[in-house]
Amino acid sequence: MQKIGVFVCWCGSNIAATVDVKAVAEALKDEAGVVFSTDYQYMCSENGQAMIRQAIKDYGLTGIVVCSCSPRMHEATFRKTAVSAGLNPYMVEIANIREQCSWIHKDMAEGTEKAIVLARAAVAKLHRNAPLTAGTSPVTKRALVIGGGIAGIQTALDVADAGFEVDIVEKSPTIGGRMAQLDKTFPTLDCSACILTPKMVEAAQHEKINIISYAELESLSGFVGNFTATIRKKARYIDEDKCSGCGVCTEKCPSRKGLDDFNMRLNKRGAVYIPFAQAIPNVAVIDADQCIHFRTGKCGLCQKNCSAGAIDFEQKDQLIERQYGAIVVATGFKPIDASQFNEYAYNDSPDVVTSLEFERIMNAAGPTKGQLVRPSDLEHPHEIVFIQCVGSRCSEDAEKGKPYCSKICCMYTAKHAMLVREKYPDVNVHVFYIDARTPGKNFDEFYRRAVEQYGVDYIKGMVGKVSVEGKKLHVQGSDLLNGEQVHINADMVVLATAIEPDPTARSLGTMLTASMDTNDFFTEAHPKLRPVESPTAGVFLSGVAQGPKDIPETVAQAGAAAAKVIGLLAKNELTCNACVAHANEAVCNGCSQCERVCPYGAITYEDREIRTPEFRGVRRIATVNEAVCQGCGACTVTCPSGAMDLKGFTNRQIMSEVDAICR
Amino acid sequence: MSLTNKVTAEDILRISGVDASRCMQCGKCSGACPNYDEMDYHPHQFAAMVRKGKITELMESKALYQCLSCFACSQRCPRGVEPAKLIEAVRLSVIRQKGKNYMTADALPEKLDEKIPQQALVSAMRKYSK
Ligand SMILES: Cc1cc2nc3c(=O)[nH]c(=O)nc-3n(C[C@H](O)[C@H](O)[C@H](O)COP(=O)(O)OP(=O)(O)OC[C@H]3O[C@@H](n4cnc5c(N)ncnc54)[C@H](O)[C@@H]3O)c2cc1C
Ligand code: SF4
Ligand code: SF4
Ligand code: SF4
Ligand code: SF4
């Protein structure tokens, strides 16, 4: 027979205002097995805990019931208290009389009655509790960073600086991400490449960082501390070890039809190319779809001209299998497809461009060598219209567009407007905006500079229509502050298109069992208190993959994610969950149902020698890998023979609770 | 012209099925409107004013009869507000009031001119009278 102590907490007035705590403590004294019952103002306080410890010693308690807030709040606290007084932590039960009782009732009598019932159920369960011991599992001291934009690079650098090995898996041929495509950056207008490329080089040269470019995660198994990843490294048809990045092949290649993704497909490139001058790794790639050799078996000019002998048409995709302790998702974003917004004539005129296309046009290494010209005829524009919020802030049920604010476009549009006015004072710049959203250090000052010093014409209102009229673009929009409809004959229109998660995010989320929101941004474990962790243990979030943000915020979050990874990898072993599933071998008949429902792959089967009064011989029995089982209970409800049970939440324990409630 | 019965924002919501509180006052509707300059109140103002319950002003506006019912505003609205339906609902509220036919058969002959297609007259009669 157990000797049980009951401790009823007032939680100040949180509980005591709706539940007669003294009456609860008094009522519980009559329960079988209860040898001590009391109440106190704050059980979680040092004094409250001391009271629990003292009672365990004085009365030789074998288990305790704390009637208090949700176990999510203080179960860990009271388990520690019990341990320090010599009890097994799993001999602690919490009756949640706050969230599930005092906070949702108004009437004192009702609240008290329910609190007593909840406490009785906890006592009934505790009678069937058994001490449990959690196992441990080792931690593989290597991190996997998925995505090599500024987020992934920064997280990798911080983790590597702490002495742990990091692999960056980047799906494109080079790291750098979107930041590599930007010209200047707000709010300081420094050159993006000038601040990014030193970090790319640092990552490449870091002895603890291994960059796996042109690669994607193929599959993943395991659990926190012990992931096994299979990475597919796509054939680039170039031997990375031999290629010196001299670029001779790219000049000799006669195929000129491929579109240059790095320049937002504004110009053509050869079938063999290096994405940009500072690419890392600085190694060429062959685009097999465009390559004449792959299409006709002829050509091979690159191979003939490569003095390093790096061209390898026979190269195959390679599968790499590695162990990791932690995984960081840093897969970033892409602008949404602007062709859905043809009211702005994006499909009708090359002079209507997206903001990211505009970054390439303004960039000295871009398709126009940094000359601001109209894409249609390469003439200098005189009138430019910027349109903000294209595809952002649409209603949830809108047939196109995103419901969220993309957060960065007000600022980068102010940047674009200023850069144009700075370099070309003869160009008139108009910005149509709904709101100018500029929260951030030095952000509003930046936007005001565009208006006050650079004379950018900000028009509050949206554009309703852009139509092509000869060489001009007729822009018709609202000027809400002046109460008029305005018409501008523009040479170029720039669309601040919404951003969305990388298209691979959804399938990656499934592979990692990491949850995401309806917009495919990865969700954090807690929106305020755990912003860089995924709810899936061992998976961390960095950069725009979690939600729209600019570079300063991305870098800050990347560092925070790194700190969490370091905290995990610094441990030698992790304590597993003690409440794991377990099959009763006398009842299990190895039907394989549980294996199919286990989302963590924790169940296997083994042939075991069984000796029961009814059966003697070898039978196939379910076996649970306790390090992998997360205690979700899916198998226990699936098992047709009732063999599977969850330790700490056995069927008998649950039924005892139900009986106590219905008594 | 004075209006006999008070029409409320709820009436407009019921007739139009449009929830004006969804409007974020971006002005895309009014930016799209092909007849903006002829109207005294513009589609984004219909959304704002219905929300504030200023229905009487709208019922007395010229815009009710200048709106082409082209639905450009509704089609462009990023928040699914459909201002054209709001305008239509206010117009109906006027016409439903006794004796408030905006167009009567007697008035037709003076409006006739050879450029107006007959179909336009028929649909105008349908729209502007009981
Ligand atoms: C037009 C424009 C202008 C901007 N201007 C500024 C500015 O002036 N100042 C500022 O602070 N911010 C600016 N930004 C925002 C800035 O670009 C982002 O904050 C930043 O790039 C976010 O970095 P990231 O690493 O999270 O994502 P990304 O830069 O998108 O990097 C993600 C990386 O992950 C890779 N990846 C994606 N999926 C996978 C996968 N499944 N497997 C492997 N790899 C994958 C991608 O190839 C990419 O390399 C601008 C954005 C735009 C669109
Ligand atoms: S950041 Fe500005 S432009 Fe971008 S969606 Fe938000 S309000 Fe619109
Ligand atoms: S409790 Fe969940 S994780 Fe554990 S074996 Fe059963 S299904 Fe798998
Ligand atoms: S009705 Fe729609 S388009 Fe017009 S202002 Fe409101 S949200 Fe914008
Ligand atoms: S339906 Fe009326 S208000 Fe709307 S765009 Fe057409 S004319 Fe303008």
**What is the C-alpha to C-alpha distance for residues A337 and A319, in angstroms, rounded to an integer?**
32
Q: Residue B35: closest CA among chain A residues belongs to which residue?
A: A485
Residue A488: domain span = 335-500
Among all chains, which residue has been given the structure tokens 């339906």? B85
Average pLDDT of chain B is 89
Give the H or E element holding residue A629: none
CATH number of A37's domain:
3.40.50
**Residue A101: count of CB within 10 angstroms of its CB:** 25
Q: Is residue A194 part of a domain?
A: yes
- Find residue A432's DSSP bridge partners: A387, A459
Do A219 and A294 belong together in one domain?
no
Is the residue at A653 inside a domain? Answer: no
Question: Looking at the predicted structure, is the pLDDT value of residue A376 above 90?
Answer: yes
Return the structure tokens found at A56.
């365990």
Same domain, A405 and A464: yes
The C-alpha of A478 sits at a distance from chain B's nearest C-alpha, in angstroms, of 4
pLDDT of residue A41: 97
Q: Is B32 in the pocket of ligand 5 (CB under 6 A)?
A: yes
For residue B97, name the pLDDT band (cuts at 50, 70, 90). Answer: confident
Residue A387 falls within a domain, yes or no?
A: yes
What is the mean pLDDT of the segment spanning A158-171? 98
User: Does the C-beta of B104 come closer than 6 Å to ligand 5?
Assistant: no
Does one domain contain both A541 and A589?
no
- Please check the confidence at residue A292 and state whether its pLDDT lies above 60: yes
Atom of ligand 4 nearest to the CA of B25: 5
- Name the residue ranges covered by the structural domains of chain B: 9-99, 103-130
With CB atoms and an 8 Å threshold, state whether A397 touches B29: no
Calculate mean pLDDT across residues A434-448: 97
Lowest mean pLDDT among A391-400, A600-609, A635-644: A600-609
A397 and A511 share one domain: no
Average pLDDT (A294-323) is: 96
Query: What is residue A269's predicted lDDT score, i.e. its pLDDT?
Result: 96
Mean of the per-residue pLDDT values of chain A: 96
* Averaged pLDDT for residues A480-486: 97
Same-domain pairing of A486 and A351: yes
Task: Specify whether A183 is located in the same domain as A294.
Answer: no
| A489 and A349 both lie in a single domain | yes
In this structure, are A401 and A518 located in the same domain?
A: no
Q: Rounded to whole angstroms, how far apart are CA atoms A222 and A246?
A: 42
Residue of the nearest CA to atom 8 in ligand 2?
A: A389
Q: What is the CATH number of the domain that holds A532?
A: 3.50.50.60
> What confidence score (pLDDT) does residue A40 get?
97
Q: How confident is the model at residue A60 (pLDDT cuts 50, 70, 90)?
A: very high
Q: Quick check: is A312 in a domain?
A: no
Of A428, A365, A354, the closest CA to residue A183 belongs to A365
Which range among A282-286, A489-493, A625-629 shows the weakest confidence by mean pLDDT? A625-629
In A235-328, alpha helices (H): 248-252, 292-296, 301-305
Of A500, A524, A549, at which residue does a domain stop?
Answer: A500
Quick one: pLDDT band at residue B3, thresholds 50, 70, 90? low
Does residue A242 form part of some domain? no
- Does ipTM surpass 0.90 in this model? no
Decide if pLDDT at A611 tops 80: yes
Residue B103 has pLDDT above 90, yes or no: no
3-state secondary structure (DSSP) of residue A137: strand
CATH number of the domain residue A606 falls in: 3.30.70.3270
Q: How far is A407 from chain B (nearest CA, A)?
A: 17
Question: In this structure, is residue A659 part of a structural domain?
Answer: no
Confidence of residue A223 (pLDDT cuts 50, 70, 90): confident
Query: What is the CB neighbour count within 10 angstroms for residue A595?
Result: 16
Q: Is residue A166 part of a domain?
A: yes
pLDDT of B102: 74
Asked if the Cβ–Cβ distance from A464 to B72 is below 8 Å, we say yes
Which of A502, A539, A540, A542 is the pocket-test mutation for ligand 1 (most atoms within 8 Å of CB)?
Answer: A502
Q: Are A196 and A295 found together in one domain?
A: no
What pLDDT shows up at residue B98? 66
Whether residue B80 and residue A389 make contact (CB cut-off 8 A), yes or no, is: no
Tokens representing residue A35 in the block: 């040898």
Is A661 contained in some domain? Answer: no
| Overall domain count for chain A | 5
CA–CA distance, A353 with A351 (Å, rounded to integer): 6
Beta pairing class for A318-324 and A573-575: unpaired
Six-digit token string for A197: 């490329």
Same domain, A219 and A289: no
Residue from B22, B23, B28, B37 whose CB has the most chain A CBs within 10 Å, to mutate: B28
CATH architecture of B9-99: Orthogonal Bundle (1.10)
User: Within this chain, do residues A173 and A259 fall inside the same structural domain, yes or no?
Assistant: no
Return the pLDDT at A628.
Answer: 80
Q: Can you give the pLDDT at residue A600?
A: 77
Question: Considering every ligand atom, which ligand is closest to the CA of B69?
Answer: 5
* A11 and A83 fall within a common domain: yes
